[in-house]
């Protein structure tokens, strides 16, 4: 999470040099205070600036009827805004998905232009819609679980005609990491265990169900399984451990 900042600061043999030495004083102060405000997504409600980052998990023309149908199902279970401004309380919430994780920080949309401006979130960097990762995450805060609807595009081939195990791992890391971040704030993946149970054909639409197992001190344990949309077929099972970090961890300091 936000690893590109650390990589940026750690690349070019810069290890040991503090961000203060790399960035103008004012920029560094602004960056540090903004990163200090990274919160669990569950508490992010109002964006502090007028410009909205683009939400990459909105329906688009590459979505199959099956993907759209499952999206519609979960979207109907989500909190809604009514005309008089009173939202209808429902258990599910659709999470937005930006092309840089720093955009979750206060002022992040501006900082994203300053820090490694060309960095992009791995799963959101392909121009052709539908070619790789099409996905949307719905979270149920009360039940501490989420469901991701994932359509695996044709450029994700591993075994002939089937989805690459690394692409499946990427999605499991993304979804379990999103849930852990939602529940626990800034985290990084410490451990990911995956059992691949049956091959997933390209262009499949699948559900990635993830749930909190337990939280122990800085450790958030998440379980996950990938199924067909009717849940009759099991593709993958996984467990993941996320460790809470301070932002300083990304700059090489001890917690």
Ligand X SMILES: CCCCCCCC/C=C\CCCCCCCC(=O)SCCNC(=O)CCNC(=O)[C@H](O)C(C)(C)COP(=O)(O)OP(=O)(O)OC[C@H]1O[C@@H](n2cnc3c(N)ncnc32)[C@H](O)[C@@H]1OP(=O)(O)O
Provide the annotated active-site residues.
173
- 143-162: which residues touch ligand X (CB under 6 A)? none
| 186 lies in the binding site for ligand X (CB under 6 A) | yes
Minimum CB distance to ligand X smaller for 216 or for 230 = 216
User: Which of 37, 42, 64, 189 forms a contact with ligand X (CB under 6 A)?
Assistant: 189
Size of the site for ligand X (CB under 6 A): 27
Cα radius of gyration rounded to whole Å, the chain: 19
- Residue closest to ligand X (Cβ): 177
Does the footprint of ligand X cover residue 190 (CB under 6 A)? yes
Residue 173 binds to ligand X (criterion: CB under 6 A): yes
Q: How many angstroms separate the CA atoms of 175 and 170, rounded?
A: 9
Site string for ligand X, 73-112 (x = CB under 6 A): ----------------------------x--x--------
Burial class of residue 8 (count of CB atoms within 10 Å of its CB; 0-12, 13-18, 19+): middle
Report the residue from 67, 149, 177, 205 that binds ligand X according to the rule CB under 6 A: 177
CA distances from 34 to 43, 65, 237 (A): 15, 40, 36
User: Interface with ligand X includes 204 (CB under 6 A)?
Assistant: no
Q: How far is the CB of 31 from ligand X (least distance, A)?
A: 14
What is the residue whose two structure tokens read 């149970």? Answer: 197
**Cβ-contact 144, 183 below 8 angstroms:** yes
Place of tokens 């990459």: 56
Binding letters toward ligand X, positions 36-65, x by CB under 6 A: --x--x------------------------
Residue 8 near ligand X by CB under 6 A: no
Which one, 38 or 202, has the nearer CB to ligand X? 38
Cα separation, 94 vs 248, in Å, equals: 30
8 Å CB contact between 108 and 119: no
Would you give the binding string for ligand X spanning residues 234-253, x where CB under 6 A is met? Answer: -------x-x-x---x----
Residues 6+ apart with CB under 8 A from 26: none
| CA distance readout (Å), 35 to 188, 240, 251 | 15, 25, 11
Contact 89, 73 (CB under 8 A): no
2 lines the binding site for ligand X (CB under 6 A): yes
Q: Where does this chain bind ligand X (CB under 6 A)?
A: 1-3, 38, 41, 101, 104, 173-174, 177-178, 181, 185-191, 217-219, 241, 243, 245, 249, 255
């Amino acid at each position: 999470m936000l690893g590109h900042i650390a990589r940026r600061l750690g690349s070019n043999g810069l290890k040991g040099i503090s961000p203060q030495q790399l960035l103008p004083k004012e920029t560094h102060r602004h960056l540090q205070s903004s990163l200090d405000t990274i919160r669990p997504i569950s508490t992010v409600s109002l964006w502090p600036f007028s410009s909205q980052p683009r939400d990459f998990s909105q329906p688009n023309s590459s979505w199959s009827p099956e993907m759209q149908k499952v999206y519609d199902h979960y979207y109907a279970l989500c909190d809604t805004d009514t005309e008089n401004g009173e939202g209808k309380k429902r258990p599910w919430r659709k999470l937005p998905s930006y092309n840089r994780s720093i955009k979750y920080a206060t002022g992040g949309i501006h900082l994203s232009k300053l820090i490694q401006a060309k960095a992009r979130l791995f799963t959101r960097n392909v121009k052709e819609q539908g070619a790789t990762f099409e996905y949307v995450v719905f979270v149920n805060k009360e039940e501490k679980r989420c469901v991701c609807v994932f359509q695996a595009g044709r450029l994700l081939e591993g075994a002939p005609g089937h989805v690459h195990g690394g692409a499946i791992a990427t999605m499991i890391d993304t979804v379990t990491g999103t849930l852990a971040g939602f529940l626990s704030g800034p985290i990084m993946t410490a451990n990911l265990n995956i059992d691949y149970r049956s091959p997933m054909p390209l262009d499949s639409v699948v559900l990635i169900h993830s749930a909190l197992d337990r939280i122990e001190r800085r450790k958030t344990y998440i379980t996950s399984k990938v199924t067909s949309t009717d849940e009759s077929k099991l593709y993958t099972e996984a467990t993941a451990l996320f460790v809470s970090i301070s932002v300083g961890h990304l700059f090489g300091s001890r917690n």
